[in-house]
Every structure is written in structure tokens, then in C-alpha cells.
Amino acid sequence: MICAAVLIFLGLVVVWQPERVWSNAQQLYNKWMILTMILEKIERFYVDEKHPDELLKDAIDGMLFGLDPHSVYLTAGQYKDYSKKYDGYYGFGLKYCRIDSVLVVTSLVENGPADLAGIRIGDRILKIAGMRISDIAGGSVENYLSARSEKLISMAIQRPPQGERISLELAKRQIVDKSIPVSFMIRDAVGYIKLSYFTDATPQELDAALTKLTGAGMTRLIVDLRDNGGGAFDSGIAVADRFIPRGRLIVYTKGRAPHSSEQFVSTLPEKTMPLVVLVNESTASDAEIVSGALQDWDRGLIVGRRTYGKALVQTEYTFQDESVLMLTTARYYTPLGRLIQKEYQENNAGKVNHKSVEPQKYKTPKGRIVYGGGGIQPDVVLKKADKIVPKGLQPLYSNDVNIFFNFADKYVISHADIMFTHDVELFVREFRVSENMWQQFKQYVHQTPVSLAESIMEANSIFLKDELKVEIAGRLWGDRGRFMAVSENDSEVQACLKYFEQASALIK
């Protein structure tokens, strides 16, 4: 069948453009026949038995190796794993931590099956499908929660602090994590939105976040695009469209095929508040499109570090076995014509090394100088400030102990007043670890298998108190509380607050 298809293709080529491409087509056919014979010889005579699918996958990978690093072939299974982030997963919309013989719920997806069934953060799952958690191996728990074979699952729940027992039957469905995990007022009049990646739902999530924050008095905004690797291209365009005046170019693409060269223009009225966009070396693809467009039109101040420099249009070609070829068919350019994609080269190990190139200068409509040459160079560069666990505290982070979460769980259960705290933003701004709590934590650590001198804990008390605040917030409000508490102590987020005067000057 393959050979027949190639012969038909060659026949059509000869009819359409006989003089120009017959030689190339003939060479392609000859090489194809050689490849087929090589695969057949290996399959029949190689010293070790090789599965044909494995040989073909290696051959395809070898062919793509000479292209860019982002043109890849994914088996059906690999593509399914790749898509989970954007298409979601099957389950109940809850996260958990295994403690002793129970599962403690640590976070819930808003309006997911678990949330709608009335499960709360901190609930203990004692049984799944009639089986005690202590009788289920660790890896098998996830199968019960996500397997498609059973849509309805019974759960036995215990709710602290009273120990109330609850029996529930939950229906699984497709769950998509929010691309905007958190948005809140980080200071009076200053809103903060964390945008983790782009999905089809991102524009609607952004509109909801902006409406909520505007209602809370927001007049200035921080958009955090750190570690955002992109996602749905149209959603990236839609996000930029919210902030750029109507009728202006957001991005354009150029490729070899006629349909791969396009222009994308803003269509919505802009939101004119001062805007600071936080980026880093892992900000890529659609997040770079947004950053580049805002910078080119003097619409937002870009703060952080030069972005990754991945601006290749990936076209997905799906085959009959549900495997997928993700092929680069065009490149992105900012409105001023800056190429976002960094130049790259392969080393002997096959890994990508970005080449250093001389940055080209471009001038924005307001006369500001911005730079091309790959990635988006921020207007304000921040020194990298990785959070490093101080020496001597590493034993506290053992996965087998979960000291911070366990302490936070016990503390919240034993302090009824904090359990009924409803204002997460007020908590994040005002909560401080008291001396009494600090003493309780040190005593708790001494009761665990972790051996840690009190002098080490005292020397790192500020760091440890910040960790405790994050876990208390997480125990009360799940991932949303953790994100908010981490942002409050994030030096890069706090640095953004200093640059709103410059951001305001851009839109005057």
C-alpha cells in the first residue's frame, strides 16, 4: 500500500511539474525503497529481535533529528500524556496526601465532582469502593480515582474535628485544571493574576478574574507568566487582545506553505490600566507572543529575565493509529518584526544549545528601544532568586514524613477559630506565625523521626515560618491558598510593585 501510494504521488508530480521536480521525486522514491529494505533486513536478520513498531519509531525520530527540536513524532500513548495538561484528566477533581491509613484531601477543583458532592479540604477518605485505604497499594489508589472502567465510586469519609462519618457516591468526569490557578488583590488597588498555561478556556477565565478584581477596586495589574510554556495559540492571541488597542497587530507568522503566513489583529476595546508582566527563562511560546505584543505597543512593562525563545508554529498531523506528527510549519514575529525564536544548535548528546547572537535594536511607537535576537528581553531585568532550602533543613522535606502538611493539619483541626476563617486575602496579608505556634512546631519536629537541632531551626526561623504559613493556607484553601501565600513572600512578585510608575507612564 505504501509503495502504491508513492507511485501515485510520483505520477501526479510528473503531470503537474515534470521538469522541475521529477528528479527530486525519483530520488525520494529511491531512498524510501532503501529505507524499507533496511527495516526489513533488521527485522529478519539482526542478532536481537526488534519489534517493527520500535524500528519504525526510531527511523522517524532519526529523520526528525535533522529538523528543529520541536518537530517530534508521538505515539498514541505519548500524545495522550502530552494532552492531559490541556485536555484534562478523568476523575473527581481532588488532590490528596496519604497519611498513615487514610487519604487527606489537600485541594479541590472548583465545581468538580468532589466539590459538588460536598467533600472538603482536610476530609479523610477511609474507603474507596468498599476497600480500606490501608489495604490498597499506593499506586493503585490513583487507578481507583482515575480509571475509566468504573464511572461511579463509593467513598467513606471522616470529617475532622468531630469525626463525623459520611458515605458518598461520586461520578467521575473529565477534569481540566484552571489555567489561571489564582487571582487576588495583592495590595490595595493592585491585582495579581497567575497564568500557568493557555487552554481554550483561558480567555473566559481571564475575563472572570478581571471582573472580580475590578470589582474589588483594582486599578493596576500584575500578570505572572513565569514558567508558562504556552498551549492553545488562539487563547494567547485572545489574552493579548484584552490589553492592546483595537485594530493593532498582535503577532504574525511566516512559513513556506501559503496558509502558514498569517496576521493576527486585535479586535476588542483595550483595558487601559497600568500593566506589569512578570516573565522568566521558562516563559515560552504563546506567553512570549503576549509579552512581545504588549512591549512592542508600549502597553505593558515587562519585568524579569529574558524568555525562553520558542516561537515555532506546530501543526499536528494525526495518523490512523492516533499517533501524531508535530511539525514546525512557521515562525512567530512580534508586531515590530522581532523573531522570538532563538537560534539553536545540536551538540553531540543531541541536546539543544541556544546560540548567542548580537541583539538587534527596534524602536517602539513611543521611542523606547527593545531588542530582538531571540526571546523577549525585559524592560526591567531581575536577578534570579531561586528558593533554596537552607543547609541543614533538608530532612524536613522528606516525602515519607510530610512534616509541614501534617503539622498544619493538626494545628487547623485543634484551632476551631482558624478553621472558620473565610477571607483568604486577609489571611495572606495579615497572618503571622505566633510564638506559641512556633514553639508547638519545634516540639512537633522533635517528636518525629527527623533529627534536627533546635539551634538550626532557630537560625532559620524566618524561612520556616514562611513555610508554615503556606501550609496553613493550603490546609484551609487548597492550592489557591498555597499560591497566594507563596506570592506574598515571592521577591520577584514584590519587586513588580515598585515599577507601576513606569508602567503608568507607558499609557499616558
Nearest to 219 by CA among 165, 169, 273: 273
What is the total count of domains within the chain?
4
Last-in-domain residue among 360, 384, 408:
384
Residues 407 and 483 in one domain: yes
Q: Does residue 337 come out as left (phi exceeding 0), alpha (psi in the -120 to 50 range) or beta?
A: left
Please count the other Cβ atoms lying within 10 Å of the Cβ belonging to residue 96. Answer: 19
Q: Supply the DSSP string of 201-242, one letter for each residue.
A: THHHHHHHHHHHHHHTT--EEEEE-TT---B-HHHHHHHHHT
Residues 202 and 308 in one domain: yes
pLDDT digits (tens, 9 = 90+) for 371-391: 998 899 999 999 987 778 888
Please count the other Cβ atoms lying within 10 Å of the Cβ belonging to residue 414. Answer: 12
Last-in-domain residue among 352, 384, 416:
384
- Residue 377 within any structural domain of the chain: yes
Q: What is the pTM of this model?
A: 0.84
Residues 308 and 426 in one domain: no
- Residue 405 within any structural domain of the chain: yes
Q: What does the mean pLDDT of the chain come to?
A: 87
- Residue 60 within any structural domain of the chain: no
State the Cα torsion 225-229-233-235 to the nearest 10°.
-40
pLDDT at 229: 93
pLDDT digits (tens, 9 = 90+) for 174-223: 888 899 999 999 999 999 999 999 999 999 999 999 999 999 999 999 99
What is the number of alpha carbons within 13 Å of residue 482 lying toward its C-beta?
Answer: 14
Which domain range does residue 15 map to? 2-50
Respond yes or no on whether the N-terminal peptide bond of residue 335 is cis (omega within 30° of 0).
Answer: no
**Distance between CA atoms of 497 and 187, rounded to whole angstroms?**
9
Report the DSSP beta bridge partners of residue 118: none
Residues 356 and 265 in one domain: yes
Nearest to 290 by CA among 212, 183, 179: 179
- State whether residue 326 is helix, strand or coil: strand
Residues 220 and 332 in one domain: yes
- Residue 72 within any structural domain of the chain: no
Last-in-domain residue among 175, 209, 240:
175
pLDDT at 85: 67
**Distance between CA atoms of 476 and 107, rounded to whole angstroms?**
9
C-alpha angle with apex 25: 23 to 27, nearest 5 degrees?
A: 70
**Residue with more model confidence, 139 or 249:** 249
Residues 264 and 328 in one domain: yes
